[in-house]
């Protein structure tokens, strides 16, 4: 063991009952330091979860692909058999549903991931002092990577359905990341309350389904009626529409609003992160009871 102890400059930690908001400068430094210091730990937790998730499974990572395939098949058959009549989507329906489902799932998972990953590491949180952001980062990383892997599904679907991809496909990763960003931004606001009360996670599970039907995931953008109104005021609409457009080369009608939404999401994320940082000691204290 050769860790030389530096006795000249010892780091000093002070704990007081005061809100860290009282000193914004220190708060900001704390937050950025925490982010920096937790990278390695976050990666360790990330790889732990990635490994553990497949070690006890025969099909392993293949499980990532089954849910979107299942959803796509269900909607494909519903549409094919005429049970549900979906208007013209401008591209083969299976490809349309697949894109929508993948993007939607990326959003929904990033929305709940901070809560679930913190809850999963509750045992450690209440007993060990380590950067509280680390499990959140690990969770976000996990969601981002797994849903990015899922995007590979688009390749066979496009070939099978005979969809021609446009050069604008290079922007698709950005469109995909914007879904994740919006998910995390909303999620960061819900996390503190969601850790205290299980109601939040439950409502997301339930309301998530409604939200999906209020978004053009399995049907094309509605322009009239109640659905049209829902689509219009739903920020997800613009992101999903733009995402689809990058794959086939347009139309990019939703792009300007999508960019505004992303900017908002980014600001929201910064605020949510601050809220998380300030409230998390209080929350963990109550979790440990």
Binding residues for other proteins, rule: CB under 8 A, are: 1-5, 7-8, 10-22, 40-41, 44-45, 48, 51-52, 55-56, 121, 123-124, 126-130, 192-193, 196-197, 275, 278-279, 281-286, 288-289
Vertex 283 angle, CA 131 and 278, to 5°: 60
Which of 104, 173, 132, 129 has its CA nearest to residue 42?
132
Vertex 143 angle, CA 257 and 139, to 5°: 115
Query: Minimal distance in Å, beta carbon 266 to other proteins?
Result: 20
Query: Minimal distance in Å, beta carbon 105 to other proteins?
Result: 25
Closer to other proteins by CB, 22 or 83: give it. Answer: 22
Query: Minimal distance in Å, beta carbon 30 to other proteins?
Result: 12
What's the maximum distance between 2 C-alpha atoms anywhere in the chain? Answer: 77
Which of 210, 262, 208 has its CA nearest to residue 235?
262
Query: Minimal distance in Å, beta carbon 60 to other proteins?
Result: 13
The pair of structure tokens assigned to 36 is 């920096």
Query: Minimal distance in Å, beta carbon 12 to other proteins?
Result: 5
Closer to other proteins by CB, 81 or 129: give it. Answer: 129
* Matching residue, tokens 């013209």: 88
Distance between CA atoms of residues 269 and 246, nearest Å: 25
Which of 119, 129, 68 has its CA nearest to residue 95?
68
Closer to other proteins by CB, 53 or 166: give it. Answer: 53
Query: Minimal distance in Å, beta carbon 203 to other proteins?
Result: 16
Closer to other proteins by CB, 16 or 81: give it. Answer: 16
Distance between CA atoms of residues 176 and 199, nearest Å: 28
Closer to other proteins by CB, 94 or 131: give it. Answer: 131
What is the chain's alpha carbon radius of gyration, rounded to the nearest angstrom? 22
Closer to other proteins by CB, 3 or 170: give it. Answer: 3
């Amino acid at each position: 063991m050769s860790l030389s102890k530096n006795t000249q400059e010892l780091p000093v930690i002070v704990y007081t009952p005061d809100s860290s908001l009282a000193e914004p400068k220190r708060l900001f430094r704390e937050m950025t330091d925490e982010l920096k210091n937790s990278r390695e730990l976050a990666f360790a937790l990330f790889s732990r979860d990635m490994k553990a998730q497949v070690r006890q499974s025969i099909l392993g990572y293949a499980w990532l692909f089954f849910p979107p395939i299942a959803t796509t098949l269900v909607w494909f058959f519903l549409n094919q058999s005429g049970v549900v009549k979906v208007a013209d989507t401008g591209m083969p329906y299976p490809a349309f549903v697949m894109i929508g489902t993948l993007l939607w799932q990326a959003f929904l998972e990033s929305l709940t991931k901070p809560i679930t990953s913190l809850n999963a590491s509750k045992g450690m949180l209440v007993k060990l002092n380590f950067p509280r952001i680390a499990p959140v980062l690990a969770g976000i990383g996990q969601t981002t990577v797994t849903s990015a892997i899922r995007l590979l599904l688009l390749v066979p679907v496009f070939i099978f359905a005979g969809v021609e991809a446009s050069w604008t496909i290079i922007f698709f990763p950005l469109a995909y990341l914007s879904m994740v960003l919006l998910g995390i931004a909303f999620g960061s606001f819900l996390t503190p309350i969601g850790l205290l009360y299980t109601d939040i996670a439950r409502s997301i599970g339930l309301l998530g389904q409604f939200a999906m039907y209020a978004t053009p995931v399995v049907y094309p953008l509605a322009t009239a009626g109640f659905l049209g109104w829902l689509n219009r005021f739903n920020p997800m609409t613009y992101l999903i529409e733009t995402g689809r457009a990058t794959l086939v080369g347009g139309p990019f009608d939703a792009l300007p609003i999508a960019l505004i939404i992303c900017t908002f999401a980014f600001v929201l994320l910064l605020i949510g992160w601050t809220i998380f940082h300030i409230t998390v000691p209080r929350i963990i204290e109550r979790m440990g009871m």
